[in-house]
Amino acid sequence: MRLFVLPPRPVLGGGGQEIPEIGTPTMFVFLSILPGLVILVALAAALIFWDKGRRGFQLAVRSLWLHKLRAVLSVLGIIIGTAAVISLMALGEGSMQDALEDIKRQGATNVIVRSVKPPDDSSTQRRTPVLAYGLTYADYERFLTIGAVTRRVPIRAFVQEVRRLERMHTGRVVGTTPEYAEVNQLTLAAGRFLTEDDDREMHNVAVLGSTTAEALFPFDDPLGQSVRLGLHFYRVVGVLRDRMPTGGSGGSLAAEDYNNDVYIPLNTCRVRFGETVFLRQSGSFSGEKVQLSQVTLTMADTDKVRPAGDVVRDLLDRWHQKKDWAVTVPLDRLEEAERARNRYKMLLVFIGGISLVVGGIGIMNIMLATVTERTREIGIRRALGAKRQDITLQFLIEAVVQTTIGGVVGVVLGLGSVIVFPVLWRWFTDAHLPAKVHVPSIFLSLVVSVGVGVLFGWYPARRAALLDPIEALRHE
């Protein structure tokens, strides 16, 4: 495939300010588990300061120590459940945060308008050698009339060979204004980005993406050297840091790989390359005329994003006969992704909760077997004056101590897995596994594990307390 370009006329720019990020508060999570934490503190205080509670705790620890293997097996389900909740929430939170950051990079206060090639109309027999479609500079002038807009960033993008001596790299040429770096949160590894003077004076300067710079200058410093685009040479004034490509989540020009881009001033692009690109392939010859590939409009506030998007759609509907444009509002996708994250969290908690419930059932089974095994001991204690509530308290404390120890061990294992899993994943697959510790899940899993001990330990404890002392003494 060969490219031919026609030269023509000058262009426009834009200006503006920072993009605010929007986040979701997590204070309600702490408030929801606060009662459970209060109960935990109250139980701990009772065990420390209450004489019966302290003695019951000592008996429980002694009993568990005498049957170490059985105690470990009984709390294994709690350990696995607690560790599962913490690790699943951390991995899920990290993955969802990555996806949200992808959308936030597009700007939560942005409205992104793109040129879209219309489908072939088979009903019309008349064909033109040059297909004109997409956004125009007249559209861009109309966008200037929208009062809520604080910044407008136009771009013209197309695929082009970039050459330097004998080296060649096929990348994307992006003609744009200096604000493009702020809107897309690009970080420079060296040099500078485009300036207003570059655009106004139509300088032949270029900023290279990391992959493009590495392909053309594998052993040299690109700054100050020249690359060839089409028929002209451009001086390299900056190189971008490596950046993970966007997932094509509706941001700009579908999925974007910034590392393969070459950025030049918009006016320079219009003068050097023009608006028409001719394609010759397999004996056919056709051309496309696109004035602007995309315009990003930044609003002063998130409340004004959707109304401004509606105004943009109305303007384009009025002035375009075909649907050769698309309007994307990243705020919609951000809010949708945050709702999906909350649903995903609930699913992960539910999965981990199943493990905790299964662990609680295991503890209840062991406790019921313990009651049968220690029937004679219970009878002796009752004969010596122990009340039913003392027997209930002793067995209940044993169950709570087991689940608390299991919960603490599970928290340690869960936090360890959050650190170790990403390292092992990168080691074996050479891919990044995002993980972010979800602090509320730590407290939540601890509260639930103690609650499971109380819930599933109460029945065996009550059953032990209801044993008849005489029958218990006769038990062999």
247 lies in the same domain as 366: no
Complete DSSP assignment for 271-333: HHH-SEEEEEETTEEEEEE-SBSEEEEEESSGGGHHHHHHHHHHHHHHH-SS--EEEE-HHHH
CA distance 451 to 449: 5
Q: Answer whether residue 251 shows pLDDT above 50.
A: no
Which range is least confidently modeled, 24-33, 175-184, 393-402? Answer: 24-33
| Verdict on whether the full-model pTM lies above 0.85 | no
162 lies in the same domain as 257: yes
- What are phi and psi for residue 428, nearest 5 degrees? -85, -35
Share of the chain above pLDDT 70, in %: 76
Q: Answer whether residue 5 shows pLDDT above 60.
A: no
Average pLDDT over residues 259-283: 80
> Does 32 reside within a domain?
no
Average pLDDT over residues 338-349: 76
- What domain count does the chain have? 2
Angle at 49 between CA 47 and CA 55, to 5 degrees: 50
Q: Answer whether residue 17 shows pLDDT above 60.
A: no
396 lies in the same domain as 430: yes
Q: Which residue has the higher pLDDT, 343 or 143?
A: 143
CA distance 352 to 89: 9
CA distance 415 to 410: 9
pLDDT score recorded for residue 23: 35
Task: Centre a 10 Å sphere on the Cβ of residue 243 and count the other Cβ atoms it contains.
Answer: 18
pLDDT score recorded for residue 440: 76
3-state secondary structure of 418: helix
450-464 per-position pLDDT tens digit: 777 777 777 777 777
Which range is least confidently modeled, 128-132, 171-175, 400-404, 470-474? Answer: 470-474
Task: Write the single-letter amino acid at 263.
Answer: Y
261 lies in the same domain as 378: no
**Residue 108 · residue 254 · CB < 8 Å:** no
Q: Which residue has the higher pLDDT, 302 or 104?
A: 302
Do the bridges between strand 294-299 and strand 284-289 make them parallel or antiparallel, or are there none, so unpaired?
unpaired
368 lies in the same domain as 286: no
Q: Answer whether residue 375 shows pLDDT above 80.
A: no
Q: Answer whether residue 72 shows pLDDT above 50.
A: yes
pLDDT score recorded for residue 105: 62
Q: Answer whether residue 230 shows pLDDT above 90.
A: no
Q: Which stretches of 300-416 are assigned E, i.e. beta strand? A: 325-328
User: 34 pLDDT band (50/70/90 cuts)?
Assistant: low
> Does 232 reside within a domain?
yes
pLDDT score recorded for residue 83: 85
> Does 45 reside within a domain?
no
Q: Answer whether residue 6 shows pLDDT above 60.
A: no
Average pLDDT over residues 472-476: 60
97 lies in the same domain as 178: no
pLDDT score recorded for residue 119: 75
> Does 236 reside within a domain?
yes
Average pLDDT over residues 70-82: 80
pLDDT score recorded for residue 8: 40
pLDDT score recorded for residue 250: 40
**Residue 162 · residue 229 · CB < 8 Å:** yes
Q: Which residue has the higher pLDDT, 167 or 71?
A: 167
> Does 372 reside within a domain?
yes
> Does 229 reside within a domain?
yes
CA distance 188 to 166: 26
Angle at 423 between CA 421 and CA 426, to 5 degrees: 105
> Does 35 reside within a domain?
no
259 lies in the same domain as 121: yes
pLDDT score recorded for residue 9: 37
pLDDT score recorded for residue 411: 86
pLDDT score recorded for residue 363: 74
138 lies in the same domain as 251: yes
CA distance 112 to 100: 17
Break the chain down into helix, strand, coil percent, rounded to 5.
55, 20, 25
194 lies in the same domain as 97: no
Q: Answer whether residue 102 shows pLDDT above 70.
A: no
pLDDT score recorded for residue 50: 64
Of 31-35, 220-224, 247-251, the range with the highest mean pLDDT is 220-224
pLDDT score recorded for residue 395: 75
> Does 330 reside within a domain?
no
Q: Answer whether residue 281 shows pLDDT above 60.
A: no
User: 240 pLDDT band (50/70/90 cuts)?
Assistant: very high
Domain range for 56: 50-104+336-474
194 lies in the same domain as 271: yes
pLDDT score recorded for residue 265: 95
CA distance 277 to 158: 9
Of 62-71, 229-238, 248-257, the range with the highest mean pLDDT is 229-238
60 lies in the same domain as 138: no
Domain stop point among 268, 300, 323? 323
Domain stop point among 299, 323, 347? 323
133 lies in the same domain as 79: no
Domain stop point among 289, 323, 357? 323
Task: Centre a 10 Å sphere on the Cβ of residue 192 and count the other Cβ atoms it contains.
Answer: 14
